[in-house]
Amino acid sequence: MFTEHHRRPMAAAALGLATVLVLASCSSGQQAAGPEGGGEAAKVEGKISLTYLQKQGDQEYFVGEAAGAKAKADELGIDLKVVNLGTDANKTISEAQSAISQKSNGLIVVVPDPAVGPQVAQIAKDAKVALLTSDDQICTTGPDPSSCPPDALVPRIGFSGAQMGGEVGKRAAAEFKKAGWNAAETRTISAWKQDVTVCTDRVEAAKDAFAAAAGAKVQNIDVPTDNSPTGAQDKIAATVTANPDVKHWVVWGCNDENVQGGVTALENAGFKADDVIGVGLGAYLACKNWSSGKPSGMKAALFINGEDVGALAVQTMYDKLKNGKAFPKEAFAPTTMVDAGTWKSAGVTCG
């Protein structure tokens, strides 16, 4: 979520996020089920203890997210424990149980697999512990958030998948028009882990925005990946091999990892930078292409700051447990499109 993702200067995360965040409510107007419904978490009078369970905790985006969460926790006097779940869905369950046994007042989770959502929600509800997700959605009633009733989605802090994907698609279309390529000799690649709802939201929005702005009909190829650079590289390399007559490629995906994998696969297949348009989502890997000073197929990336998400998640949980403020259905952080000429001034920290 993206999964994707990122690292940044901590100062921005610790400063008045409320002024730059947009809260969006689902059309149902209902609170999410789970710990919010029937297992209401009690207000905490003393020091708050929180546990942040993150998938892929060594990924740059999530490193930044943890840093932002810790900075906000320090500011608010919260006892925060961050746990790296890696890609182990079963660990989500055991660590959630462990957090509750250690008297955490609230759980913030980024699940490796949304299928564990109902079990995590039930654990929190039974213990009357507040539950909030960041980045990826989970459903209290089933394994697939995309088919979940709106009132059964656990409140989420993150980014708007539709907004992000739309920005990526618009920039890809602008780069395509600038390149002047023949549409018949061009293909777009949409690469993502297809069981992650927020990824699908991003990719579908990118497709729609590209189609609306490209000025020509370009055939798209969906490529299922595991959202990692190597996984995307392998799958996209196979796609390129299967389409030997294509001369130009446009690549987008759920995150920077997918696009970086695609750009690398195309480079290894002999395509020059002028024949590749990659538009990343995150900028944490894209910037490495630009910092080298060499021509790259990575033409732009949407900068998303994990520290903002981690800080807002902790602030939102604090407001709930200390002040009784209801969780928003979703809270979104801002994004910025960057490229080789603007990434440094935008504040992207390249690891």
> For 162-195, how does the pLDDT look when each residue is reduced to its tens digit (9 = 90+)?
999 999 999 999 999 999 999 999 999 999 999 8
CA-CA distance, 128 to 49, in Å (whole number)? 14
With cut-offs at 50, 70 and 90, classify the pLDDT of residue 196. Answer: confident
Please tell me whether residue 106 adopts helix, strand or coil conformation: strand
Residue 40 has a pLDDT of: 66
Residue 41 has a pLDDT of: 75
Strands 330-332 and 276-282: unpaired
Contact 306, 63 (CB under 8 A): yes
Arithmetic mean of pLDDT, 19-25: 35
Residue 232 has a pLDDT of: 98
DSSP category for residue 350 = -
Q: Is pLDDT above 50 for 152?
A: yes
Instruction: Tokens for 266, please give them.
Output: 């195309």
Give this prediction's pTM. 0.70
**Cβ-Cβ contacts under 8 Å for 98 (sequence gap 6 or more):** none
Arithmetic mean of pLDDT, 89-110: 97
Residue 134 has a pLDDT of: 95
Q: Which amino acid is at 237?
A: A
Residue 305 has a pLDDT of: 86
Instruction: Tokens for 87, please give them.
Output: 């890609």
Residue 25 has a pLDDT of: 33
* β-pair partners for 280: 301
Residue 22 has a pLDDT of: 36
Please tell me whether residue 231 adopts helix, strand or coil conformation: helix
pLDDT digit string, tens, across residues 42-82 = 789 899 999 999 999 988 889 999 999 999 999 999 999 99
Strands 298-303 and 276-282: parallel
CA-CA distance, 308 to 255, in Å (whole number)? 17
Q: Is pLDDT above 60 for 295?
A: yes
Residue 351 has a pLDDT of: 66
CA-CA distance, 252 to 312, in Å (whole number)? 27
- Residue of 69, 60, 12 whose CA lies nearest to 280: 60
Arithmetic mean of pLDDT, 241-263: 98
Q: Is pLDDT above 80 for 311?
A: yes
Residue 23 has a pLDDT of: 35
